[in-house]
Amino acid sequence: MIASISFSLQIFLLGLLTVFFVLIMVVLFGNFIIMFTNKFFEPLQTESIKAQKEGIDPSKIAAISAAVHNLTHGKGKVKSIEKQS
């Protein structure tokens, strides 16, 4: 009886360690892919802010873009700026 419980616990711990190891490998491999992509491939800057076509001062566009970048920690993006009356 005790031998079967001991064997069952050994198999259980082996399974837990295997799952932990596989999850660590997935995280490390994912981080490596992200670092590789960011190092060798730069993001495309094809979109321009629509406010530049409307005649808004470029310094105001820069200030708004900097504020959005600061508030969203670099994850936000300004797509258009419209004047309200």
Residue 59 falls inside a structural domain? yes
Domain range for 55: 50-80
Instruction: Kindly report the length of the chain.
Output: 85
Residue 31 falls inside a structural domain? yes
Q: Do 56 and 32 share a structural domain?
A: no
Q: Do 59 and 33 share a structural domain?
A: no
Of 48, 47, 51, the closest CA to residue 61 belongs to 51
Residue 28 falls inside a structural domain? yes
Number of domains forming the structure of the chain: 2
Q: Do 35 and 10 share a structural domain?
A: yes
Q: Is this structure's pTM higher than 0.75?
A: no
Residue 85 falls inside a structural domain? no
Tell me phi and psi for residue 84, to 5 degrees.
-110, 140
- Tens digits of residue pLDDT in 8-61: 999 999 999 999 999 999 999 999 999 998 888 876 655 566 655 567 777 888
Q: Do 27 and 5 share a structural domain?
A: yes
Q: What is the pLDDT of residue 52?
A: 58
Q: Do 31 and 56 share a structural domain?
A: no
Q: Which amino acid is at 36?
A: F
